[in-house]
Structure 1
Amino acid sequence: MKSLRCCWILLLLITVSLLLWYNHITQKGEAVLGLRAYVRISPRFRSSSQQYLALHCARCAVVSSSGQVLGSRRGREIDSHECVIRMNAAPTQGFEADVGNKTTVRVVAHSSVRRLLHREAFFFNQEANTQYVVWGPERNMRQDGKGRVFNMLVKLTMKYPGARIYAVSREKMKQCDRVFQNETGKNRMKSGAFLSTGFFTMIFALDVCDSINVYGMTDGSYCSLTNSSSVPYHYYESNRLDECGMYRVHERVQRGGHRFITEKQIYRRWASQGKLKFQYPAW
Structure 2
Amino acid sequence: MKRRMKLLNIFWFCVIGWVLLLIIYFPKKSEFGTIHAPPPIRSEISWNSILVTPTSQWHPNVQFNRSRPDHLPEETGNRKDDADQQKINTKPLQKSAANYTKRPARTLPEDWLEYYSNGRDVVRALWRGNVSSRMLSLRLQRAFQKYVDKNSYRVSYRSPQNKQLDQKQLEKQALLCQLKQHARVRVLDGTEEPFASLGWKHLVPSDHLDKLPGTPFRTCAVVSSAGSILNSLLGKEIDSHDAVLRFNAAPTQGFHKDVGKKTTIRIINSQVLANSEHRFNRSSLYKNITLVGWDPAPYSADLEKWYREPDFDLFTGYEDRRRRSPSQPFYILHPAFIWSLWTMLQTNTEENIQPNPPSTGYIGIAVMMNLCESVDVYEFIPSKRHTTRCHYYEALRDMACTLGAYHPLLYEKLLVRRMSTASIAELSEKGKVTLPGFSKISCPP
**Global fold match (TM > 0.5):** yes
- Cross-structure match for 1:267: 416
Q: Counterparts in 2 of 1:106-145, with a 5 A limit?
A: 106-114=266-274, 117-123=278-284, 128-138=287-297, 142=303
- Letter of the 1:91 counterpart: P
Contact 1:87 1:106 in 2 (8 A): yes
Contact 2:248 2:266 in 1 (8 A): yes
1:186–1:194 CA distance, 2 compared to 1 (3 A): farther
- Cross-structure match for 1:207: 370
Cα shift at 1:122: 2.8
- Cross-structure match for 1:158: 323
Q: Which SS does the other structure have where 2:283 is aligned?
A: helix
Q: Which SS does the other structure have where 1:184 is aligned?
A: coil
Cα shift at 1:211: 0.7
Q: Which structure's residues are more often helix, by fraction?
A: 1
Q: Which structure's residues are more often strand, by fraction?
A: 1
For structure 2, list consecutive stretches of 5 or more residues without a partner in the other structure: 1-176, 434-445
1:149-175, Cα deviation, whole Å (9 max, x unpaired)? 122211122222223210111331232
1:234–1:133 CA distance, 2 compared to 1 (3 A): same
1:108-128, Cα deviation, whole Å (9 max, x unpaired)? 2223334685142234xx753
For structure 1, which segment, 151-160 or 62-71, has the greater mean C-alpha deviation from structure 2 after superposition?
151-160
CA distance in 1, matches of 2:422, 2:184: 19
Question: How many equivalent residue pairs?
Answer: 235
- Cross-structure match for 1:61: 221
- Cross-structure match for 1:46: 201
Bigger Rg, which one = 2
Contact 1:39 1:50 in 2 (8 A): no
CA distance in 1, matches of 2:414, 2:347: 13
Q: 1:237 aligns with which of 394, 400, 421?
A: 394
Q: Counterparts in 2 of 1:5-24, with a 5 A limit?
A: none
Scaled by the length of structure 2, what TM-score is found?
Answer: 0.46
- Cross-structure match for 1:176: 341
Cα RMSD, aligned residues only: 3.6
Q: 1:195 aligned to 2:358?
A: yes
Cα shift at 1:204: 0.8
- Cross-structure match for 1:10: none
1:172–1:118 CA distance, 2 compared to 1 (3 A): same
CA distance in 1, matches of 2:182, 2:359: 24
Identity of matched residues, %: 26
CA distance in 1, matches of 2:221, 2:268: 16
For structure 1, list consecutive stretches of 5 or more residues without a partner in the other structure: 1-26, 252-256
Q: 1:100 aligns with which of 254, 260, 275?
A: 260
Contact 1:180 1:186 in 2 (8 A): no
Q: 2:233 aligns with which of 39, 50, 73?
A: 73
Scaled by the length of structure 1, what TM-score is found?
Answer: 0.69
- Cross-structure match for 2:38: none
1:120-141, Cα deviation, whole Å (9 max, x unpaired)? 2234xx7533111112223799
CA distance in 1, matches of 2:349, 2:260: 34
- Cross-structure match for 1:258: 407
